[in-house]
Structures are given as structure tokens and as C-alpha cells.
Amino acid sequence: MSETGITLYHSLTSVCSQKVRLALAELGLGFESRVMDLKKGDQFAPDYLHLNPNAVVPTLIDGTQVVLQSNTIMQYLCAQNPAHPLSAATEYRNELCSEWFERADRFHIAIHAITYVSVNREKLLALSPEQREQRYQNIPDPVRSAKLRQIVDDGFDSAPVLAALETLNDILPKLQTATRSHRWLTDDRATLADFAMFPFVHRLHLLGFDQLWGEGSLARWHVAMMQRPSFQTAIGAVVPASAIANFAASGRAAWPQLGARFG
């Protein structure tokens, strides 16, 4: 057990896990790490479903408390550490942070669809129809399961992927505007809003889709976020080089299809 008493169930590449690891690193909190292999299906193990019935990561355990949902976990950690500058800045910017949390949830749905169609779809298509069906059946949320089925069946023209591109069309300009106005998303100090949004922008970057925002203020913010020590602790030193290479290769192959539909 770590000295903070915190245990985190997470995956190395999962964007929602990265949000929580960034918050933990910023707050200077150690944790006992339970790494889940989502490709192998660790999230569907009965013991894990007992903790997180949604069959997703992250899940944070603090003593007897089980905390789910990445935004809630980040807020929980700040509430437990109110004297920390990140908590104070986030509390001060409460309403603006809430707006970014709502956008982070929509951004996540979009990034999930884009990652699935670009990186994971081929692997699902390679399964036998029975294995694929089992994969859909394992997902407790029927909406999520139906979306995955649509992405596998209809690829870049599937409704979830087209909706994802609309979400990017809405959120990326908002990120550009915010980062043009101040150094961080809500202010001249970083808040949880920055850590809630960063992993999604970074995923697009790893896929090689930076051309969606070009060289302006959002690019500057992305670099500034990567220069924070928390990036190295939570992402840089954690995400395997093989995963980064896979994102880059899959993104290169997907771009002609995605780019043609983005507009």
C-alpha cells in the first residue's frame, strides 16, 4: 500500500487514466498502481466489475472510498488537499472548470471514436464474428456497445465517427480561443481544466493530427503542458514506446480518410 493509502486502477495509454495520473502528480500524491490491460479484457473481470460496474478505468480507492469517473476523481483529490495551489486555483475558477469538465466528457467520446476507428478497428475486424460479438456483449453500457458495433461495421462513415468530427469542430476552436486569452485554459495559473483536456489533445498529437489546430496558441499550450514535470511522471515515463509508434503508424494510415471528412 502507498503511504497516501491511494490505489489507482488504470491503463497506461487510457486518456481518462492520464487525467487522474496528471492530477496525482501535480498534487504530489503517490499511489499504488494497478495496471489494467484493456485489450486483454481486465476491465470485465468480476472482481473489477464489483468496483467499477461500468467496466472502465480509472477507478480510485482511498481507504474505504471507491471513486469513479475521471473528472470526479480529480475533484475528489483536490477536495482532499484543499491547501494545494492547484486546489485553490481550481476552486477559484470553479464555474469555468465545470464548463471544461463538460467539454472533456464530450471530447472523450469523440477521441474514443477516433482512436477506435484509426487504431483498434482493424484488430476487431480480425476476430471471428463470435469473438467480436462476445466483445460487444461484454460492454455493460448498451449505448457504448452499439457505438462500437457501428464503428467496426461502418468505419470512417459511421455515425459515431462523424459525430466525433463535429465535436472536434466545436471544441478545438474553444481551446484556441481560451489559450489565446491566457497562458492556461482558465487563467494565468493551471487548473484541473487543463489536466482534464490535455490527454485528448495529446492523443490527437500522437496520432499525428496536429494539423487540426496548426501552429497557434493551442500548439503553444500543448508544448507548455508537456514541459510540466507532471507530464513526465504521468505520461512521458509511462506510455510505452511501442504504443506511441502504433498511434503514429495508425494515425498516418487514417489521416487521408479522417482529414477528408473534417471541415
Ligand X SMILES: N[C@@H](CCC(=O)N[C@@H](CS)C(=O)NCC(=O)O)C(=O)O
Check residue 118 for interaction with ligand X (CB under 6 A). Answer: no
Specify whether the CB–CB gap between 85 and 189 falls below 8 A: yes
Among 4, 14, 191, 250, binds ligand X (CB under 6 A): 14
C-alpha cell at position 221: 499550450
Specify whether the CB–CB gap between 38 and 81 falls below 8 A: no
Check residue 164 for interaction with ligand X (CB under 6 A). Answer: no
In angstroms, give the least distance from the CB of 181 to ligand X: 26
> How many CA atoms within 13 Å lie on the side-chain side of 149?
15
In angstroms, give the least distance from the CB of 48 to ligand X: 10
In angstroms, give the least distance from the CB of 98 to ligand X: 15
Among 22, 24, 27, 57, binds ligand X (CB under 6 A): 57
Check residue 15 for interaction with ligand X (CB under 6 A). Answer: yes
Q: Which stretch binds ligand X (CB under 6 A): 10-18, 122-130, 187-195, 234-242?
A: 10-18
# of chain residues touching ligand X (CB under 6 A): 10
In angstroms, give the least distance from the CB of 149 to ligand X: 13
Give the long-range contacts of residues 218-223, CB within 8 A, separation 24 or more: 218/172, 218/175, 218/176, 218/179, 220/179, 221/175, 221/179, 221/183, 221/184, 221/185, 221/194, 222/198
C-alpha to C-alpha distance for 191 and 197, rounded to whole angstroms: 11
* Helical segments of 81-227, H only: 85-92, 94-115, 121-125, 129-138, 142-154, 159-181, 192-206, 217-227
State which residue, 23 or 187, has the beta carbon closest to ligand X: 23
Check residue 146 for interaction with ligand X (CB under 6 A). Answer: no
State which residue, 13 or 217, has the beta carbon closest to ligand X: 13
Grid cell 467496426 in the structure block, residue: 152
C-alpha to C-alpha distance for 90 and 189, rounded to whole angstroms: 9
Among 22, 23, 25, 56, binds ligand X (CB under 6 A): 56
State which residue, 69 or 118, has the beta carbon closest to ligand X: 69
Among 4, 69, 118, 179, binds ligand X (CB under 6 A): 69
C-alpha to C-alpha distance for 190 and 86, rounded to whole angstroms: 7
Question: What is the SS3 assignment for 173?
Answer: helix
Sketch the per residue contact string, 19 through 48, with ligand X: x for CB under 6 A, - otherwise: -------------------x----x-----
Among 16, 110, 117, 190, binds ligand X (CB under 6 A): 16
Grid cell 503508424 in the structure block, residue: 249
Check residue 70 for interaction with ligand X (CB under 6 A). Answer: yes
Grid cell 453500457 in the structure block, residue: 141
State which residue, 79 or 223, has the beta carbon closest to ligand X: 79
φ, ψ of residue 7 to 5 degrees: the values are: -120, 135
In angstroms, give the least distance from the CB of 14 to ligand X: 4
Binding site residues, ligand X, CB under 6 A: 14-16, 38, 43, 56-58, 69-70
